[in-house]
Amino acid sequence: MATEPEPQGPARRTPPAQSARSAAAVNALRTAPSLAGGGIVPGVPSRGLPTRTGDSTPDWLEPAMAANGIGSFDWDIRRDVLEGDHRACAILGLESGRFDRSSAAFLAMLHPEDAPVVRRRVERAVAELGQCGAYYRTVFPGGELHAVRFRGRVLADAFGRASRMVGFVWDATVELHKRERAGELAALREERSRFIKEAARALSEAVTVRDVARVFTELPLPGLPPDGLVLASLEAGRLHVLGASGYPPEDMHPYHRTPLLPTHPAAEAIRNRAPVFIATRDEYRERYPEAWPQLAEGGMRSAWAFLPLVASGRPIGVCLVSFDDDRRLDADERTLLSTLGGLVAQSLARARLHDAEHELAAGLQRVMLPRTVPSVPGVTTSVRYLAAGSGLQIGGDWYDVVPLPGGHVGLVIGDVQGHDVHAAGIMGQLRIALRAYAAEGHPPAAVMARASRFLADLDTDHFATCTYAEVNVDYGVVYAVRAGHLDPVVRRADGSATVVPVTGGLPLGVAPDEEYRVTRFSLDPGETVVLCTDGLVEARDMDLDTGFARLCEAVSGELPGRGESPRDPIEVLADRIASQAADSTEREDDIALLLLRWDGPAGGLAAQQLRRRIGQADLARISELRGELRDALRRWGVAELVDTAELLASELVTNAIRHTDRDAMFTARLYREPGDGRVAEAGRARLRVEVEDESDLWPTRRTPGEQASSGRGLMLVEALADGWGVEPRGSGKRMWFELSAEPQGEPAES
């Protein structure tokens, strides 16, 4: 407790003899023995004071002291005896037998923090023959804390020595309470100021409406802890309860999504743009009789504060603060709640806008991306899309799975430049165009080239990166084309992960005449191709090499086997890859992820048919076809036919392309004759290759000269094939040849 400043006496030099006497008096103050006897003696006469009638005290002094509650005391310094009147005893809270009239007993009554101050001031007054005063606290016998003020002066004897101290005491408990209350109010104001800062910070960090409701219902209001909190938005005249604490859910049901009655206090708060405070249930019933019956059914609360939520001059909701007991809020408490309502209103308005933008972005993204991934026999796919951690949460990343002619499948992963609605619109157009090109049966290089020209023709000043891969489902061969995008990652059968280098070209839309090169690689049954956009492997704090290393680590981890988990292992792998970035709220780019696992043909045997369309102007496709035929024959277990079949098939396809103006259809089938019944031995194998075109011009066999550069195709077919011929097809023709292979056991597994 604060005390008065020590009085400063006049600057003078104390004679040595007087100093010795003062020191003796001070020592007596500290060490004087207690005297037996009880209490302070009331009615001590006043000494050394002037009188009007010869009495020791004037007639007017006692009534004046009594009227002001002032008591007097007299301390004999030499004998260390302290005496006082009855008012002093009452002010000090003394009882008979409790006080032995010594200075030590008096100091023992004081608060431990105040006793040293009082002792020091009295010692100085005795030493200087001056006056002193102090404010101190004392504890009454009942335990209550009181405060006392005293003022005294030291009197000297005839020899100039300190003899007595006389003075007055008066009760200062009211002042003590005022100081305590002022301290409490100052602490409460500081706590409320700190609360407003913390609430403003928490509400500013709330992103969604759900976040705002959670923050509001968890706020610890200082000085007036509420028993119930409710946050509700106003939409089309109806209340939507967003969050509540201190109320059972069944109490909120009658108010949720119901019209707000004009006689309800919440309606008045919204209508007047001012808080409504209700201190008692009687006041509620008197002010809002029509709304009272609905409230009376609950019967939980006794005081309420309805705070309107107003943002940009428009009411958007109301929040309720309620108490179980009657509560009349003072001006500071009302100001605090009004300020809180303003903060909640601004935060809720911002969160509603964010949720609306997020819903718009999510809806647009759902429309742009495939609703479902088609199921293709022989492969299993899994896709993931993660929106950016901030911003509009919509961009140009996309994936697609396209069923192709012949039962094969095309994989598309891409990213349009930018992260806005414009980029998303371009992405939608480009995805549809690329899907159409692929579904028409164009080879990967042609699909990518046409998509690039399409984007350039849109004249959007945007480019896009893309990887397109055509997967031969029959025997697991992948033909990949890359336009400025990332290389694919393959999870091998042994669980390892490798980045497959794919020859790259310029991004789509940069150079309309760009020609893209195809990279071919094979999959074994159970191996998985992983395609992703750069948001997964690149960030401000992560370079591309580090990102690919993390991706390969996630891809190569151990997966549950078939039957060990209710989920397909490819779904587990997709979740594990996506989880690397799913928890990052600072992610600046979207992530598209596409996984395809080649399961192999049913029964573990490769399908024994290969069917491909060859574009009339696509001579490079012939080379790709030869490679596919070689892989197919090896997987079918007739590797000895590879060289001959490749040569003759090339001759037939080249002949159809050169001498017609339409596309050609290539088909290779392997037929097996029944064996002799032995398990390990299959029957005789017969390969039939057909090339169909729409030309009615039949091939003519001729004998070329030694210097001729053409004309030997049919001669080779006739010489090497076991049989060949030409068949009409109504419009066009079909050329074919057959090769036979001796049985060598079961076909190789795919």
Higher pLDDT, 353 or 697: 353
CA dihedral 255, 260, 266, 270 (to 10 degrees): 140
Which pLDDT score is estimated for 582? 56
SS3 labels along 689-715:
EEEEECCCCCCCCCCCCCCCCCCCHHH
Assign residue 332 the CATH number of its domain. Answer: 3.30.450.40
Q: Provide CB contacts within 8 A for 588, sequence distance 6+.
A: 388, 389, 390, 391, 419, 535, 539, 540
Tell me whether residue 30 is in a domain.
yes
**SS3 assignment, position 123:** helix
Contact 604, 750 (CB under 8 A): yes
- Examine the domain organization and report whether 386 and 281 are in the same domain: no
Per-residue pLDDT of 278-312, as tens digits, reads 999 889 999 998 888 877 666 667 889 999 999 88
**Residue 181 belongs to a domain:** no
Rounded Cα–Cα distance for residues 254 and 485 (Å)? 56
Question: By C-alpha distance, which of 734, 741, 715 is closest to 643?
Answer: 741
Q: What domain range is 21 assigned to?
A: 16-171
Q: What confidence tens digit (pLDDT) does each residue in 137-178 have? A: 887 777 777 888 889 999 998 888 899 999 989 888 887 777
Query: Mean pLDDT score of the chain, rounded to an integer?
Result: 79
Is residue 378 one of the residues assigned to a domain?
yes
Q: Say whether both 585 and 697 belong to one domain.
A: no
Distance between CA atoms of 398 and 427, rounded to whole angstroms? 7
The tokens describing 328, both together, are 């009349």
- For residue 748, being part of any structural domain is answered with no
Residue 411 CA to residue 428 CA, distance in Å, equals 16
CA separation for the pair 535, 423 (Å, rounded): 15
Start-end of H helices in 59-172? 61-67, 86-92, 103-108, 115-128
The CATH number given to whatever domain includes residue 651 is 3.30.565.10
User: Does residue 179 fall inside a structural domain?
Assistant: no
Q: What is the DSSP string of 344-372?
A: HHHHHHHHHHHHHHHHHHHHHHHHHS-SS
Q: Which of 140, 160, 162, 137 is nearest to 152 (CA)?
A: 162
Residue 27, C-beta contacts closer than 8 angstroms, at least 6 positions apart: none
Decide which of 335, 360, 385 is a domain's last residue: 360
Q: What are phi and psi of 618, to 5 degrees?
A: -105, 75
Domain assignment present for 8? no
In the predicted structure, residue 67 carries a pLDDT above the cut 90: no
Both 164 and 197 in a single domain?
no
Q: How many CB atoms lie within 10 A of CB 726?
A: 11
What pLDDT is attached to residue 732? 78
Q: Residue 367 domain-assigned?
A: no
CATH label of the domain that carries residue 391: 3.60.40.10
Write out 21-79 in H/E/C secondary structure.
Answer: HHHHHHHHHHHCCCCCCCCCCCCCCCCCCCCCCCCCCCCCHHHHHHHCCEEEEEEECCC
Does 664 lie in the same domain as 687? yes
Asked whether the beta carbons of 40 and 98 are under 8 A apart, the reply is: no
Q: Angle formed by the axes of helices 544-555 and 569-582, to 10°?
A: 150
Q: Looking at the domain assignment, is residue 185 inside a domain?
A: no
| 579 plus 614 within the same structural domain | no
Whether residues 84 and 165 fall in one domain = yes
In this prediction, residue 603 carries a pLDDT of 47
The token duo for 257 is 């999504």
Residues 88 and 219 in one domain: no
pLDDT of residue 605 exceeding 70, the answer is no
Is 639 found in the same domain as 517? no
pLDDT band at 253 (very low <50, low <70, confident <90, very high): confident
Total domains in the fold of the chain: 4
The residue-averaged pLDDT of 404-418 equals 86
Last residue of a domain, one of 139, 171, 203: 171
86 and 200 part of one domain: no
448-463 pLDDT tens trace: 999 999 999 988 888 9
Query: Given 300, 325, 360, which residue is the final one in a domain?
Result: 360
Same domain, 251 and 387: no
What SS3 class is residue 746? Answer: coil
Cite the DSSP H helix spans in 440-509.
Answer: 444-458
Same domain assignment for residues 142 and 210: no
Measured in degrees and rounded to the nearest 5, phi and psi for residue 736 equal -150, 160
Comparison of pLDDT for 192 and 376, the residue scoring more:
376
pLDDT in tens, 184-221: 677 777 777 888 888 888 888 888 889 999 988 888 87
- Average pLDDT estimate for 385-391: 67
Q: Which residues pair with 398 in a beta bridge?
A: 414
% of the chain exceeding 90 in pLDDT: 19
DSSP calls for 424-446:
HHHHHHHHHHHHHHHHTT--HHH
Torsion angles phi and psi, residue 686, rounded to 5: -135, 120
476 and 558 together in one domain = yes
21 pLDDT band, cuts 50/70/90, is very low
